[in-house]
Structure 1
Amino acid sequence: MAEMKAEREHAFEEAMTRAEAYAMQLHRMIEHIDYITLILKYAWEAGSGKVDLEKQRRFGLFPDQSLTYVMLLDKWGDVVGTTLHYRGQSNFADLPSFQDHRARRTQGLIIDGPMIDPRMTKPVICFSRRLENPDASFDGLAVVCVEPAYLLVFRNDKSLAGGDFISLRFTNGTLLATKTETATGRIYRKDPVFRGESGTLVERGDKFLDNQARIVAWKRISGYPLVAMGAISEKNVLAAFSRNVDEARTTVVATSWLIAAFSLIGMYFAFRYIKRKEQAEEIRNTFRVATEAANEGFYMACPIYARDGTIIDFRFEDCNDQGAKMLDRQKEAVIGATLASILPHPYWEEVIHTYRQAMETGFYEDELRVPPQSPIKAAWLHRRYVRSGNGLAVTLRDISQTKEHEQALSSLANTDALTKLPNRYWLSTFLPAKIQQEQTHAKHFAVLFIDLDNFKNINDTLGHDAGDDLLKEAAVRLKSSVRASDHVARLGGDEFTVVLDQVEATEDVARVARMIVKAMSQPFELLGNAGHRVNASIGISVFPQDGNDGETLLKHADIAMYAAKAAGKGRFQFYDTHLSDTLLLKLSKEHALRHAIERDELVVHYQPRVDTQSGRLLSMEALVRWMSPSHGLIYPHEFIDVAEDNGMILQIGEQVVQKVCAQIAIWKSQGLLVVPVSINVTAAQLKNGGFYAYLSGCLKKYQLDPSMVEVEITEASVVEHSQVVMNELDLLRLLGVKLMIDDFGTGYSSLAQLHRLDVDALKIDPVFTSEIGTGRDGETIFKAIVSMAKTLKIEIVAEGVETPRQLQCLQAMACNQIQGYLISPPVPAKDIPALIRKNQLFPAL
């Protein structure tokens, strides 16, 4: 019975050894997969969504290609890159991890599976990481898919006898992969339950599909929601015991009973000793084969005890070549040496403490930045100590290069490439830690949200290079305005954040804000020319009264910044719960407008323009409206300013061009005599430099003559002398598109400048039309504009004509065209055919 007990104890130890070895192996494999997803993430985000997977493959980034492949998914779940050359399913938006990453339910690596991949018709396990835009919004996934067999390549699989198995499962028991001596697949009838980080127990036969009882051990894989298992069949334990018994019986038959009794005892122990010695030697030889070619230093260390039983040092009983090399010694000089004789005293004290801890607990593992006094010439080490019998098995791995990569990747992820300041991603991790720290010490700090006023004008007029120079100089001025203990970050664009540490009074924060406003108001030297100015609008929130989390503090500082802008720019504003609801409404309106553009809720109405003398329909103006499902028709004055502030005007402009061209094509197909339609184009659309290309593309798509579309621009668009704008206008003229100045008379130009504007028509602002027939000076100004325009051969269009008296006066002035509610209000496209057929649109006077 004692021998049977010993065999079972040995089986328990063996099962746990397998589980621990398998867990260590899996940890390294999954760490490598995780590292691949990190590389892909930073390559994606640094390259604005462009990653050369083939180049990464040639550099050896990816593991065994026969059992693994890599995918890059965009924010819609479409495959935009893969190492698997197969044309199959191309959208994975239904992948559970895709939904989790998009909803931010989980941070870091997510593991899916096992599942059947329709591209390979094989089960795969998917490891994925979230990809993000510069504003931290969801941009897709980096995915590494592996077949279960990839994770079942166990170094000690020859030790798996019939019924033994290794298995990889989630911590909740869900199966990922299982391997026996001859097969892979399910073996448990019902998923097991794991209690604790590791353990060993006997599972009854009815727990398994083959009804074999087993000794099962499990080990949690550090850093991941996974468990490695090792199991030994009870049959194998009994078989080993039976072999010993049979040998004993054979010996009894060959000798006398008494001698045999003593001989059996002697032979048994001799056999056990020789067997153990052979096994130990076999293990030692196997260890040498496995470790001598490894990149890890391996040592066997035995403790040296004082008389009172305390450990005072360790002696190295063995080591591999790499271990000796790491200590800069010959192997013979290491074996037999003590820890104290190899390590300098201060460092020895730290190391022996960890050795003692490993002897006490059975295990110790960490990553160490190697101090200068260490004889090991590495920057970083991974240390792992496992108690083995009466000593320690010590593994040292040089992870300096890995740490350098991690630090480089961390720097890339957390640093703004232009200004070298921390970025939005850094701030999203810094603020939660800062809040936790200050809650512990009951301290206050302030968050300043800074936006550069008029920065867009610099970018549009001087170009992006000048804008970049200004942002870099702004970063320098911000850092010089705060203390070394404070933090400055760039959120993106012209937005910065300052975190003021250890705030005692609001006046201290106000003093810093005034310094920043003053520093930013000083002229900037750009492209060799001084005198370029911007201002800073600053919103301030203070922890904890204005928020207990980073997101709330930033949001409240942002709202306060909008209040500063609304108050006149170039100033600062503390957050107040009673800030104007208009600011909050603006933020919600931006969100709603963005959704409106995505859902195609914008519609176009058309207002006729007629000949002033005959009333004949000559052209129409396209006017955008927002058809909100919840609020009905919303007019431009309620959303265009918001669109111009946040850049959505470019998308709106493109939608209007596309809708107008499509509508003209529909009217033509209906056999209508279509008149030209004018489209309002903002300065931002022209400065962006792509309007001509987009318009000409739409004209070609819908097979329209360029004369069917006219472009209305503001005076500001042509007064700024922007080369990009002038190039766009020149291209439009060459295309054959008619150009008109809208709302003339209220902008920056004068009559003396008309000779250089080179436009086909002037649309006089309704403010002048409204004064016609009232006896005021407005009529005189109107006549002067008409006279000058005729001299320059420019047509005149009077906007806002609402009364018969205004019409009569305009006819007397020989104004070319009129537009206004007297003729027709803007109407939906469905009402235009009737107006075209009517043609003469004068009302009955």
Structure 2
Amino acid sequence: MKKRLPKVLSILAWPIGCLILAIVMWSLLLARLNDREAEIGKNALQEAGVQSKSYAEQLARAVSQVDQITLHLKYYWTYTDGHLSVEDQQQQGLYPTSSLLYVTISDRDGKLLTSSLSLQKLTNVANRDYFLTHKNHAHSGLLISNPAIGIRSQRMLIRFSRRLDDAVGNFNGIVMVAVEPAFLAPSQDESALGKKDFIALFQPDGTPLLSRTMDALQTQETAFKSRPPLAGASGAMVMPGSTFDDGEERIVAWHAVRGYPLVAAVGVSTRDVYAAFRERASDYMFIASACSAFLAICAVVGMLFSMRLAIRKHETEKAREAYGIVTEGGADGFYMWLALRGKDGEIVDFQVLDCNERGAAIFGINKSELIGSHMSRFYSPEYFATLMRTFRSAMENGEYEDEFETPPESPLGASWLHRRMVRTRFGLAITVRDISESKTHELALLDQINTDELTGLPNRHWVLRYLNRLLHDAAGDGRGFAVLFADLDDFKNVNDTLGHSSGDLLLQAVTQRLRELVPAPHEVVRFGGDSFTVIQQGGSIDDAAQLADRILQAFSRPLMLSNQNILQVNLSIGISIFPRDGSSVDALLKHADTAMHAAKSEGKKRFRFYQPQLSERLQIKIENENALRLAIERDEFVLYFQPRVNAVSGEFCSMEALARWRHPVRGIVSPLEFIPVAEETGLILQLGELIIRKACAQLAQWRIAGLPLLPMSVNVSSRQLNQGNLNDIIASALAEYAITPAQLELELTESCMMADAIEVAEELASFRKLGIKLLVDDFGTGYSSLSQLQRLDLDVLKVDKAFTAELGVRAESEVLFNAMVSMAHALRMTVVAEGVETEAQLHLLQALHCDEVQGYYISHPVPAADIPPLMQRRYLFPAAPVTLD
């Protein structure tokens, strides 16, 4: 039953497939025809609207001409006191007889006084509707009457009339212009009208005035059964056949005549609109029907063909089962080879006794072609000689199994094969399996292990193996090579300020530039973090120096990151040479790393070759790091304090806590010596927490002693802000020593604000939520901007001492300082000038409206014991408090 199901499905595939094709074809055709029909209808509505509007504009001009005649007649009749002669005007050519237009004036009794028509058949119009309308209503406007037969002209006329009044406003007659319907008929070519089309003129209530069809111009007759619903100033719609006398469906568009109570309408037969489309649609339907019939024939033929194949396959399977060929359906290729021997009894070739289809497919031929063939037929003599060594080994040992990559000259249609050969009485029984996919996956995993995911460069794992092989080959050949260990300068600042995502983009940009600088066969490797290794094969020490110098010169230019940021990054490079600087991989890498650290310590942006004394310097650096770590553990740090005072009065208003290392042997160590080491090694996190707790403890002591509660600011590094869980540390210290948040202030460098804007804003907001003030330290030396200061909502701006030192030296310095003060005040920030050392600087800062000052002129940093006297003194200017006039 399971075997029959695929056969049934293969037979039914033809009718099902043809049915699906027919459904798709008809669906697409009908959808296209519907879309085209809708498009034609839309265009016809638009065209009818254009025609009705055009007719309305024509009518507006014609009626306006008639209206002007009535106005002129009324004016001149009044102006001449009733002595106007239309006959004279007609003789002067004002009213040509062929103009389809007639002019008449009657008195208050309806008697015709003057006319462009003959008055021989003198008549009276007193009983006419239009005369009575004017007589009974003080209607001063233009009156348009329904078409009627003229008594004198005996023609169908449409009359336009105006009332005449005497000097006191009483009815005094009418002036009338009568036109034949042809005067108002549309100017379009009658041949443009279809047999069922019309153009008509209506009054606003739907009363017909005239209508033009292909055959005739009619008055007061239209194709409508009743007055049409022509609502609005304009419109267009499809009206059913029940609306018209002839039962013909039409598209009707109408447009009001500007300034007059008339409506122009156009009717177009939908049968004519869609005639060409429906004829073409009929052709398409016929073609689709023919295609459907063809698909039906294909379905029948396909079913018969599939049934024939199924019957043949069934017979083949029965034959295979009878002969026991069980390897045919497997994934492995199977061969039975007969060993052919030469005169000396040595195997010289193999002949294929049997195989399965899979085995023949690996050779790219049919089974019938492969059976009986000699193996030497498929290989070049040189390559076959190599293969025969393997085949003879299998015959000698009884079996052989391996995995091998097929060379380009191999006829086998697979890149990797697993083969197993077993000796038989006649020769070899061989199974072959295509393992290309699994081998490719295996090689991809190996490549992943050896490749850095971020940069795509070989990684540390790869370079260790590569260097071992290179070192072995170089030692055997007596040649040397260089190991260049390159490390980015101050890369941690990028991660700390711009975030790790920007750091990743920078590493990718560095990779791209290194690849451009280092050609094959040299190798570029990402050794780890922000470190890269370049392996320069062969060459001399001068060659290594030239390569290193070329790299440094290239990185003197900024890098464009993929996020469009531009960064300037530099490298420090250490170089070790084989065999001069080591005979092992570990020694070469260690010495290159040591030389790199020497380059950094000498100012960065340079390269150094390894020298034995460099190891001693590195050892000293390691000792300094260990000493600093031990100093933190032993709490060898004390706080000094430098006051901040009011710039006008000199009143002691705040202070800055500064860390000092009290070394047991060296005494007090300046922060300029240990802070860089703490930043580089990450010990700044532990040191920063220690200083915060010491500051809170000191505030608590002064509070207990009854001293004034002055705020104290503590410096915070960018690494603390981004990695040190600073919020929790500060909250814990405040709670432990019962310090109010208003007493503690945080001084942030500008680099702190260069990190991810959202993360920084959230972190600073958490400090403000605690009630802690935030200060920008050393402002003007970094990269902060006005937008950052505004967004981060800081409290105090401390201007770097470099700007204070320039005051009084250059006029531009005062302008720049004043700009910073104005900017800070606009942001509601307090301005503190750092580095105030002279009275002249103080006076200039007062003139510039600086809020607070700090510097040696006020006080040097002093230990905690010297602060209480300063608090009691309160005003810290050297002389009396300075006041401004």
Structure 1 length-normalised TM: 0.50
Structure 2 length-normalised TM: 0.48
Q: Return the index of the structure with the highest Cα Rg.
A: 2
